[in-house]
A and B are shown apart, each in its own frame.
Chain A
Amino acid sequence: MTAVARLAHTVTSGALGYLHANRQFGAFEDEVNSDLNDPDGVYKPLCELALAASLVLRDGVTGTAEQQAARELLDFTWGQLRRGDLLYERQLRHPVLTDPLEVYSHHARSGYHHPALARTIDVGAAEDSMTEVLPNRRMAVANAHRVVGVPRDDDFEAMLRQTWLGRTPQPWVVDWYTAYHMTHAAFHITDWGGRPADMPADVAAYLETWLPVWFDVWAEAGQWDLVGELLIVSACLPEPRFVESEWELFAGLQHAEGFVPRDAEPVDDDPRLIYQNHQHTAVVAAIAGTVALSRLLGGGG
């Protein structure tokens, strides 16, 4: 286990350092309003940055430098979001959107509050103001409400049973997209490894049985981003699964700068393109490392 702990620490420390050092590549270039013409452009990566940093702070298992970097990353994302005003305006204007709530949850978890946004979210929750989403996305919204502390009557297990994972299908009827959906159902039912006991026993057994196969198949295909997500799922199980060879493979992919390439394609030389293409996998790596380390040290029970 100490070998996995060492690898997990190296991975998360390197990835977080990379995200911190290159965070300006993730800044909005222009004046943005709450309509966000291209929400997947800068906004979504910014939110993922906040998620990774919030989990590093929540778990508190990395060193002082990593905790400092995570705090500064959240200061950065919160600043980019105009200290929550952008989220507030977006939620006010588009009550059925779920992303302002979800992005706020990462910041609220880490002590960044916006009372007017919080009140807007409270009222929206009471109204059941929510666009219709995929079952695993519905769980993301429920988890965001849970993290922010909005009282709801959400039945997490019933929601899980609506997802691909919750139905425990024959394990070969999965493709790349479905595999991502599967990982996210596991993330949200356990709040990213913070509540591993919330995963039903049959779902946990299903994952323990098939994660080795999915890891093998997508590692062979060089889908490193998905492979990293599978490492997070392994760390979210009620009995976390740590396979040294899997961690060695993933850690071995990490570049000296700290990012992990998203797949087996050649990596560009241009730092801005590197950030654009591989920032998500760096986020995945940072989360995988902190959640694994936290579970190794007994957290999440």
Chain B
Amino acid sequence: MDASSCVRGAAHLADRVLGALRGSGCVGLAEFVDSCADATSGLGAVRLVGADVFLPHTVLDRPLSTGDAEVVAASMEVFPPVVAPATPEQRVMAWCDWTTARALARLSGDEPVAAPADPADVLGPAEDWARWSVRVAQLSSLAHPGAAGPVVDAVLAQPLALCRGVVRTVLRRDFGTATRLARWVGLLHAAGTPLPIDPGLLIEHVDLRVGAEPRRVLDLAVARHLVEATA
């Protein structure tokens, strides 16, 4: 197993999630891992896609199969969650891991898991909106229909910092980061927060330019769902 095979696997898996979101049925995590050259890199891909593997359940309310839940649980065992984050990157991973673990617990009926510490530790001050929004983008798997929790509350409270951040990424032609932030913009719109930009036009503008990388297309599909559900 190497890192690049995990990343390639994550792209394939994101494509399967996207297909499921568009109505092709279920993601079929066990089938996906079986299709990988080795199971470990398959589980690594599952970890990379993170809580987004549950999008068909959170967005379309599809039931989670026992097999899928077992694959996610196995991926957490092979690649254990970050428990004592020390660096900014680890703090981001800790929140992403918590989101995955929490979704797994909720869908499989297990005990809820404790959230990492104060979201301000991972996000930093919103006054420094350029840096803050980069962290928010890294936490995009937390932004989905029905999302809740301390980070979600913290981002919901900062529409101006978020919109400045996404406009900055579009102007810098960093459309990958823009798709991640578009999910948060969609979430704020869905929550009824007034925004100084048009979320639908943001999604269309980025969609025209971001290319076909499955994880970014998936981000935009989530953003679009959030915006259209409240249109």
Contacts and interface: CB of A to CB of B under 8 A. Distances in A.
Interface stretch (B9-17, B94-102, B195-203, B214-222): B195-203
A213 B170 CA distance: 11
A257 interface: no
A22 B93 CA distance: 57
Interface residues of A, number: 14
Given A209-B160, A209-B196, A212-B129, A170 B171 contact: no
A212 B170 contact: no
Contact of A172 (B129, B130, B170): B170
Interface in A169-222: 170-174, 206, 209-210, 212-214, 216-217, 220
Contacts of B160: 209
A240 B168 CA distance: 22
Given A209-B160, A209-B196, A212-B129, A217 B201 contact: no
Most buried by B among A170, A172, A173: A172
B198 A172 contact: no
Contact of A213 (B171, B198, B201, B205): B171
A216 B127 CA distance: 13
A276 to B, nearest CB: 30
A172 B164 contact: no
Q: How large is the interface on B (under 10, 10 to 19, 20 to 34, 35 or more residues)?
A: 10 to 19
Given A170-B202, A170-B205, A217 B168 contact: yes
Contacts of B167: 171-172, 210, 213
Contact of A170 (B168, B172, B197): B197
A61 B217 CA distance: 55
Nearest to A172: B170
Contacts of A172: 167, 170-171, 202, 205
Given A170-B197, A170-B198, A171-B197, A216 B205 contact: no
A210 B197 CA distance: 11
Contacts of A171: 167, 196-197
Nearest to A212: B164
A212 B129 CA distance: 10
Given A209-B196, A212-B164, A216-B130, A174 B171 contact: yes
B58 to A, nearest CB: 29
Contacts of A217: 168, 171-172
Contacts of A210: 164, 167
Contacts of B129: 212
Contacts of B198: 170
A79 B167 CA distance: 47
Nearest to B129: A212
A172 B171 CA distance: 6
Contacts of A174: 171
A213 B129 CA distance: 9
Contacts of B202: 170, 172
Contacts of A209: 160, 163-164, 196
Contacts of A220: 172
A170 B201 contact: yes
A171 B167 CA distance: 7
Given A170-B198, A217-B171, 15 more contacts: A170-B197, A170-B205, A171-B167, A172-B167, A172-B170, A172-B171, A172-B202, A172-B205, A174-B171, A206-B196, A210-B167, A212-B129, A212-B164, A217-B172, A220-B172
Interface of B: 129-130, 160, 163-164, 167-168, 170-172, 196-198, 201-202, 205
23 contacts: A170-B198, A170-B201, A170-B202, A171-B196, A171-B197, A172-B171, A172-B205, A206-B196, A209-B160, A209-B163, A209-B164, A209-B196, A210-B164, A210-B167, A212-B164, A213-B164, A213-B167, A213-B171, A214-B171, A216-B168, A217-B171, A217-B172, A220-B172
Interface of A: 170-174, 206, 209-210, 212-214, 216-217, 220
